[in-house]
Amino acid sequence: MPRPSAAVPRADSGPAAAAAPALANCSRELPRLRRTTAALAGVSAMLHLLMIGHGSVLAGLLMVGMAALCLPCAVHLWQSATVRAWTAVGAMNAAMLIVHGWMVRSAAGGHAAVEMPAGSAEGSLTGHEVLMLSATALSGAEVVLAGVGLVLGASWRRRAASRAR
């Protein structure tokens, strides 16, 4: 196979072509971060499935839907660290934090503090409350990790593009 001449520009040259390997390398550069975030998304899906039966049938269907939304993000992040995957994880978990905050506030009758249910001992949490607090904590962690992934990925792409010039 003949080698391309140095005087003839290749079709795949330039800054855009140089950035393409950077996008591929981004997923190799941050494997622990993206796989940790993907694992947390998988755990988040499991928590939603564990919440089935802690409310009405409609709430159960909502939990199945939320679990179904978590899994594609987990798979995409496990495979590669694209801007789209990081953004989806960050946005979905930010929305989940808002919804969870609204649910806790609504359960407290509009007050900032959560009141204890009549049947529980003071200071103890029900199974649903433990699941809700765990899911909320995971959501917060995933928002932070998605932000870190976006920033580090953008930094990696900028460095790769500047090296190509």
Cα dihedral value 108, 110, 111, 117, nearest 10? -10
Look at the block and give the residue holding tokens 């990696």. 156
Question: What does the pLDDT look like over 63-104, one tens digit per residue?
Answer: 898 889 888 888 988 888 788 989 999 999 999 899 878 877
Candidate from 101-105, 112-116, 122-126, 152-156 with smallest mean pLDDT: 112-116
pLDDT at 144 over 90: yes
Nearest of 99, 106, 125, 113 to residue 44 by alpha carbon: 99
Domain boundaries, the chain: 31-114+127-164
Q: Give residue 72's identity as a one-letter amino acid code.
A: P
| pTM, to two decimals | 0.68
**Would you say residue 123 has pLDDT above 60?**
yes
Q: Per mean pLDDT, which range of 6-15, 57-66, 128-137 is the poorest?
A: 6-15
CA within 13 Å, CB half, 44: 29
CA dist 114 → 2, 59, 122 (Å): 73, 20, 12
- pLDDT (mean) for 8-31: 50
Residues of 26-52 as b/e, b for ≥16 C-beta within 10 angstroms?
bbebbeebbbbbbebbbbbbebbbbbe
Give the mean model confidence (pLDDT) for residues 18-30. Answer: 53
